[in-house]
Amino acid sequence: MSERGAANGVTGAARGAAAAARGGIDLRSDSVTLPPPAMRRAMGAAELGDDVYGEDPTVNRLEELAAGMLGMEAALLVPSGTMANLLALLAHCARGIKVLVGDLSDIWLWEAGGAAVLGGLVYQPVPTQPGGELALSDLDAAIFAQDDPQCAIVGLVSVEDTHCLCGGRALPLDYLARLQGFARERGLALHLDGSRIFNAAVAQGVPASRIAGHADSVAFCLSKGLAAPVGSVLAGGRHLVAAARRWRKMLGGGMRQAGVLAAAGIYALEHMVERLAEDHANARRLAAGLEGLPGLRLDPMGETNMVFWRLDPDLPVPAFVAALEGEGVRVLELGRGRLRAVTHYGIDEGHVDRAVAAIARVLDRPERLRARGGR
């Protein structure tokens, strides 16, 4: 075992046990990660207090650590990434303000319209470019008649990094710089849904603060590739985070002795960031194994931990997913006919090779898939 593995409590045996505990090779998402043994021990040893009163020392330490790593003034622990993004939008914008979001973004597609339902905000989707960017020309076209009382005022732009539906791509740093300048020139706030910002940072070889520094607020997940069991963080300026803290209370996000969860987050930030490179390498290994398999067409791949593909039109996707699960491998249909596999803690090279072999076996029996899909 390497010195780094020994220090982190991240051993091959622990990885295999995590995968076995999930009942096979689960590639649906990096949200299925299980905490490593040393993280569990840190949770059990956490010093606790009442976080709603600001008295949980472990939560306070996590928030200070996260803010420092992102180069922000303050940070706030919340239960989920959905809540982190929602709090950001509510803290930035008053009711009736328009938010520009990508038409392939998580905020637009998968977060239940929370800012509209709970905050009275107006979403306007903007076309997402293949690399996950929102073209400045499209954003500019969406901003018009700001002085006309008939039109909603645009107050915020939100982008996603890494971008899930664009293959786990990391937004280019020069693009973020141009987007930041665009937003400032027009008096708009810029929010970064950085659910996997540390994947982007590792892939680009920069500290996360280099990415986050382009935005006014950043949300990231502890419970995906960083392997904590629960939690996300919203970071930004002190006044913004104070406003978000009030919204968190209104939404039921005050968790009292949350240091048990914060301890997992501290461990994640201190020990689980660098190893994300292993997930990226395993994703490339998976894509290389799938390349050229009959009946399967790979989508363009990003730099991180996601692989997307489609089946030939005559192969039923639900039957493929079910047959593959019968082989002990789980993947996710994310969008109509689009399949996704995500590499993460608990998945090693051996798991990747077994998954490729299982996919090949399923595709080698196309008549069974067709028959199963016709039932």
Residue-wise pLDDT tens digits, 179-233: 999 999 999 999 999 999 999 999 999 999 999 999 999 999 999 999 999 999 9
Within this chain, do residues 208 and 336 fall inside the same structural domain, yes or no?
no
Within this chain, do residues 69 and 169 fall inside the same structural domain, yes or no?
yes
Question: Smallest Cα–Cα separation from 247: which of 87, 74, 120?
Answer: 87
Within this chain, do residues 204 and 278 fall inside the same structural domain, yes or no?
no
| Spatial separation of the C-alpha atoms in residues 328 and 34, rounded to whole Å | 18
Structural domain count of the chain: 2
Within this chain, do residues 141 and 164 fall inside the same structural domain, yes or no?
yes
Domain that holds residue 17: 3-35+274-373
Within this chain, do residues 26 and 106 fall inside the same structural domain, yes or no?
no
Question: Which of 236, 271, 306 lies at the terminal end of a domain, its last residue?
Answer: 271
Reported confidence tier of residue 23, pLDDT bands at 50, 70, 90:
low
Within this chain, do residues 116 and 216 fall inside the same structural domain, yes or no?
yes
CB 12 within 8 A of CB 6: no
Within this chain, do residues 315 and 176 fall inside the same structural domain, yes or no?
no
Q: Which of 19-33, 63-77, 160-174 has the lowest mean pLDDT?
A: 19-33
Question: Which of 219, 253, 271 lies at the terminal end of a domain, its last residue?
Answer: 271
Task: Tell me the pLDDT tens digit for each residue of 237-277.
Answer: 999 999 999 999 999 999 999 999 999 999 999 999 999 99
Within this chain, do residues 229 and 337 fall inside the same structural domain, yes or no?
no
Question: Which of 271, 305, 335 lies at the terminal end of a domain, its last residue?
Answer: 271
The vertex-84 CA angle with 80 and 85, nearest 5°, equals 120
Within this chain, do residues 361 and 293 fall inside the same structural domain, yes or no?
yes
- The 10 Å CB-count burial string (b at 16+, else e) for 189-199 is bbbbbbbbbbb
Within this chain, do residues 20 and 114 fall inside the same structural domain, yes or no?
no
Question: Smallest Cα–Cα separation from 87: which of 191, 5, 203, 173?
Answer: 191
Task: Tell me the pLDDT tens digit for each residue of 34-50.
Answer: 999 999 999 999 999 99
Q: What angle do helix axes 317-326 and 366-373 make, rounded to 10 degrees?
A: 120
Within this chain, do residues 312 and 208 fall inside the same structural domain, yes or no?
no
Model-wide pTM > 0.85: yes
